[in-house]
Every structure is written in C-alpha cells, then in structure tokens.
Amino acid sequence: TSVLQPYRTSYHFQPSKNWMNDPNGPMIYKGIYHLFYQYNPQGPVPGHKVWAHSTSTDLVNWTPQVPAIVRSQDYDINGCWSGSVTFLPGHRPAILYTGVNLQHQQGQNLAVPKNLSDPYLIEWVKSPLNPLMASTAANGINASSFRDPTTAWVGRDGRWRVIIGSKRDRMGMALLYRSKDFVHWTQAQRPLHSAENTGMWECPDFFPVSAQVPVGLDTSSNGPNVKHVLKVSLDDTKHDHYTIGTYNSSTDKYVPDEGSVESDSGLRYDYGKFYASKTFFDSKNNRRILWAWINESSSVDNDIKKGWSGVQAIPRTLWLDKSGKQLVQWPIVEIEKLRTNQVDLPNKLIKGGTVLEVSGITAAQADVVVSFKVKELERADSLDPTWSDPQMLCSRKGALVKGSLGPFGLLVMASKGLQEYTAVFFRIFKGQNKYVVLMCSDQSRSSLNHSNDKTTYGAFLDVDPLQEKLSLRTLIDHSIVESFGGGGKSCITARVYPLLAVEDGTHLYIFNNGNQSVGVPKLSAWSMKKARIN
C-alpha cells in the first residue's frame, strides 16, 4: 500500500495489477502450492480471461509465474474460464477448464504439464482432443450455461466422475460426466443434483468430509464415516451456498441432509462477500483448504483509477462441525507467522456505552482475537419470530442501536474521531427455547465516501452463550475485514474504503453499546507483517 494505493492489501493475495476473479485449480505438487486464477491481463475490468499462476511454499508468500493457460484455440479464444485440478494415477496433475469458443459456446478442456519434473509446473499443454465435453443439439445442454468443472473423483467402478455447473430454465444443476481415461467423457443420465428456482450454478465443488475427526480427505474418499459437501455459487445472488449430505457412489446420487437447502435461507461459507470458491486437499498437511474471490465494493471508475480489482480471501482450513450440521472454517495456521507486536488487554468488564481503544498495533494491518462473556443472559431482549433474516436484522439494528445484550464487539478501520468505522459485533436474543446469537458486520459508516456499497451483513451463530464464551477473530488488511465468529462457525467478509482511516490514521476499538456489561476475558491483537505477494 502507499498514499496513492491505500486499499491494496498487505497479506491478502492480489496480482500486481488488473482484474482478478475466481481461484482456479489450487493444489500442492512436489511441496509447492499452486494458485491459478481468472485474470484479465489487459486491465482492471472483466475482459477476456486467462489462467494466471502463482506459486508458494507456505500459502502466505507468493511468486508470480507466467500464465498457465491462455486463449489460443477456437475452443477457448473467447476466454479460459474456471476449472480445477485432478491428480491422475502416478500423481500427474491435470487441469479441466471451461473454454469459451468462437461462437461464444462453453465447453470443457484438458491441459497437462509439459514437464512433470518441474515443481513449478510452468508450462501446460492443451489436449489435441479438446473440447472433451461440448454442448450439442443431441444433449440439449445450454451452451451459455455449461461451465466450471470440479476436481474429479473415482467411483467404485474405478471410473472418473466430474460435475459441471449448469441450469435448465430456473433449475440449477450439477451435470455428471464419467470417464475411464480422463479424455473420453460420457454424460450421465441424471445430474448429481439439481434444485428448482436456484438459477445458474457456477463453480460447483463436491468433496468428502470426515464425520469423526477434523481432518481433510482426498476427493475420492468415501465410506461409513464420510459425509459429502456440495457447494454451488449462485449466479443470481453471487453467494456461495453449501449443503451437507450423503453421496451414494454406486447410484451416483447425492442427497442433502434434511434442512439443508440451496436457497437464500441455506448455509453459506460466508455471509458477506465470498464467491466462486474452491477447495483442495492438502496431502502434505491432511487438511482441506478453501480459496475464494472477494470482489470490490467500489465503482468501476475506482477500479480503473486504482488499476486493479479483486482480492482472494485468506485460505481457510475447513472441516465438519461436531454437530454434523455445518462446516467450520479457520484461517490457515501459516498466516500467524506474520503476527508481530502482540498487544493483550487484561481481563476486563466493559460497561454499556464504552468505547475503548486498543493501541500499539498497526490497526490497518492486523489480526485481532477477542472473547466475550455475558453474565445475566436472562436480560436478553426477545427475538421477534418474524426476524428470520439475519442480514436484515443487522441492518435494522446497526452498531448504534442499543439493546440489552449488545451490540458489543470491535470497531475496526476506524478514524480517531469515529467519523469512520466498520463495526463487527454480536447481539444476544432470547429465542423460543434457547438464546440466539446474531453476528453483524456493519459497513454503514465505513467511509465518508458515499459512492461505495456499504451494505451491512449478518449471520446467526450456532453458539450457546450459556455454555461457551463468544469469540471473534478479525483479519484487517486495508480494504478487507474478514471476521470469524465462534471459532469459524459463521464468517463475514467485507470490503471498505475509508478516507480518514487509512494507514496510520487507522484505529482499533472494542465497544459495548448494550445496556448490560460484558466481560472481556481475552483480547489479543497483532500487527501483521507484509507478505511477499507477486
């Protein structure tokens, strides 16, 4: 970052300039992490995409490589769109990606490394048989809704399976293809899964999670203690939704658990900005890691002025929660090596109406961990049963609206006189037969510049305040505020563009705007060092 570029990030992944969107084909190969991404080499606007490429040994510092896949053939001349990596027998990585052809039709293509002994996998060769999957009059696939192949997996019969995002009218679907050799693919009669009235499913992701231990599984794993996750990126709402369910590998059917739906009331990885995400299995550390694109909340004019658009979220380790009902996500542990100058607040009780500065850190580039303890829970306000939309509730009850238990939390990216701040906070309500915790990220006062999108985000958090402390971790990086509630049970990511709260003009506060006092048994904050990124 600099005076001219106050919104560039210091430890979130970005290219040095231009437009970036979806993460593509993340993997680890010979000890090197690879990230490819949708990139327009021509400027900070969407344009014609190539697969840009960076490599890393720690997922924190990244070295740019030449683009891995660029537009060169009739079948991808209008864009090399999103896709995934699969390891073929002999640990050979293979990319499946969507090509947009001369006629603007979408199809799926294969590319393989030219030299498998190069851990950086600089050169990729497109298959002479491309496109391997195409829309035809016979298969009735909509040529403009046929994209984003997943990492493939092997079924019981030894054949490969892959799903492709699609739709028919308003029905979103994951088309299933099978192959013996990864080159010749046959469409299955039925999609792996579909859902009415969800629109186009972009960037599907389908992977197993362990129902016993919080470790990652290879994409082809299946068995008695394995559940499956299907994530889809809904083009209509630009949100990533997932369901947890059961995958029957003999019938190739995926059945979401009851109560698990792909609609706007369903589960989301993140209740702020977070799109076109993709996971991979990190075989070196036995974990599954989630990448996602975070777009800008400012205008196209601004993108053009600053010369870039889009960042990637900090990679998150993800696993199935003990309840079996949701996933838990946590920033990869490696990011903690950027922490420096730790500041701790002694155990405190903060009264209603308090705003307390946490000083001694670079507040525009920080990692903050805090937990709250509430004693007199019975004083909680009642939750009106019609308040079922957490985002709506957070925007109605922003950081300035007093309640009984809350709002309490952090004011981040704040200016000294609080003309600007982003409030990340909790409220506790009395529900039907349990306490309900609401987590909010309120951007309404994040900038004196009113041309930005300052939508407030919100989520319910499945934590019982009778049994547990309420914890919050927030990663702050100049124009991005990435928050993890309850140890990663609900996550909210926001983009902010303050005018005063930039660089050294940025402050961090803890606040309680509720009527009841809250205990703060723990608050640690760190300045974050700058990562070497591209």
What is the closest distance, in whole angstroms, from the C-beta atom of residue 238 to ligand DQQ in the complex?
8
Judged on CB neighbours under 10 Å (0-12, 13-18, 19+), 521 is middle
If the CB atoms of residues 146 and 319 are measured against ligand DQQ, the closer one turns out to be 146
If the CB atoms of residues 51 and 435 are measured against ligand DQQ, the closer one turns out to be 51
What is the closest distance, in whole angstroms, from the C-beta atom of residue 71 to ligand DQQ in the complex?
12
Is residue 98 a contact residue for ligand DQQ (CB under 6 A)? Answer: yes
- How is 60-108 classified by DSSP, letter by letter? SSBEEEEEEE---SGGGTT-EEEEEEEEETTTEEEEEEEEE-TTS-EEE
If the CB atoms of residues 46 and 352 are measured against ligand DQQ, the closer one turns out to be 46
If the CB atoms of residues 12 and 287 are measured against ligand DQQ, the closer one turns out to be 12
What is the closest distance, in whole angstroms, from the C-beta atom of residue 149 to ligand DQQ in the complex?
10
427, 435 in Cβ contact below 8 A?
no
Q: Please state, in angstroms and rounded to a whole number, the distance separating the CA atoms of residues 138 and 135.
A: 8
Cα-flanking dihedrals φ and ψ of residue 306, to 5°?
A: -85, -15
Is residue 252 a contact residue for ligand DQQ (CB under 6 A)? Answer: no
CB atoms within 10 A of CB 288: 24
Q: Please state, in angstroms and rounded to a whole number, the distance separating the CA atoms of residues 87 and 404.
A: 54
Is residue 49 a contact residue for ligand DQQ (CB under 6 A)? Answer: yes
If the CB atoms of residues 81 and 207 are measured against ligand DQQ, the closer one turns out to be 81
Chosen residue from 7, 81, 206, 280 binding ligand DQQ by CB under 6 A: 81
What is the closest distance, in whole angstroms, from the C-beta atom of residue 143 to ligand DQQ in the complex?
14
Chain residue at closest Cβ approach to ligand DQQ: 81
What is the closest distance, in whole angstroms, from the C-beta atom of residue 204 to ligand DQQ in the complex?
10
Beta strands 422-430 and 381-382, pairing class: parallel
Of 134-153, binders to ligand DQQ (CB under 6 A) are: 147-148
> Cis (ω within 30 of 0) for the bond into 149?
no
Handedness of CA 34, 37, 43, 44 (dihedral sign): negative
If the CB atoms of residues 240 and 252 are measured against ligand DQQ, the closer one turns out to be 240
Q: Please state, in angstroms and rounded to a whole number, the distance separating the CA atoms of residues 272 and 484.
A: 11
Is residue 493 a contact residue for ligand DQQ (CB under 6 A)? Answer: no
Chosen residue from 18, 21, 150, 516 binding ligand DQQ by CB under 6 A: 21
What is the closest distance, in whole angstroms, from the C-beta atom of residue 112 to ligand DQQ in the complex?
20
Query: If you ran DSSP here, which 8-state letter would residue 527 be given?
Result: E
Name residue 252's amino acid: D
Binding mask 279-308 for ligand DQQ (x = CB under 6 A): ------------------------------
453 classed as catalytic? no
Nearest to 313 by CA among 331, 326, 325: 331
**How many Cα atoms within 13 Å fall on the side-chain side of residue 419?**
13
What is the closest distance, in whole angstroms, from the C-beta atom of residue 81 to ligand DQQ in the complex?
3
Q: Please state, in angstroms and rounded to a whole number, the distance separating the CA atoms of residues 450 and 497.
A: 10
Is residue 76 a contact residue for ligand DQQ (CB under 6 A)? Answer: no
372 forms bridges with which residues in the sheet?
Answer: 470
Q: Please state, in angstroms and rounded to a whole number, the distance separating the CA atoms of residues 452 and 450.
A: 5
Judged on CB neighbours under 10 Å (0-12, 13-18, 19+), 316 is buried
What is the closest distance, in whole angstroms, from the C-beta atom of residue 83 to ligand DQQ in the complex?
8
> Cis (ω within 30 of 0) for the bond into 46?
no
What is the closest distance, in whole angstroms, from the C-beta atom of residue 40 to ligand DQQ in the complex?
9
Is residue 240 a contact residue for ligand DQQ (CB under 6 A)? Answer: no
3-state secondary structure (DSSP) of residue 447: coil
Nearest to 33 by CA among 338, 316, 280, 277: 280
Q: How many residues sit close enough to ligand DQQ to count as binding (CB under 6 A)?
A: 12
Annotated catalytic residue within 22, 240, 252, 442: 22
If the CB atoms of residues 144 and 248 are measured against ligand DQQ, the closer one turns out to be 144
Of 498-517, binders to ligand DQQ (CB under 6 A) are: none
3-state secondary structure (DSSP) of residue 58: coil
Of 111-130, binders to ligand DQQ (CB under 6 A) are: none
Is residue 38 a contact residue for ligand DQQ (CB under 6 A)? Answer: yes
Chosen residue from 20, 22, 78, 465 binding ligand DQQ by CB under 6 A: 22
If the CB atoms of residues 109 and 210 are measured against ligand DQQ, the closer one turns out to be 109
Q: Please state, in angstroms and rounded to a whole number, the distance separating the CA atoms of residues 268 and 270.
A: 5
348, 373 in Cβ contact below 8 A?
no
If the CB atoms of residues 38 and 260 are measured against ligand DQQ, the closer one turns out to be 38
The residue assigned the tokens 């970036």 is 20
Binding mask 172-211 for ligand DQQ (x = CB under 6 A): ------------------------------xx--------
Chosen residue from 276, 438, 459, 508 binding ligand DQQ by CB under 6 A: 276
If the CB atoms of residues 300 and 400 are measured against ligand DQQ, the closer one turns out to be 300
What is the closest distance, in whole angstroms, from the C-beta atom of residue 96 to ligand DQQ in the complex?
12
Angle at 355 between CA 351 and CA 356, to 5 degrees: 100
What residues make contact with ligand DQQ under the rule CB under 6 A? 21-22, 38, 49, 81-82, 98, 147-148, 202-203, 276
What positions carry a catalytic annotation?
22
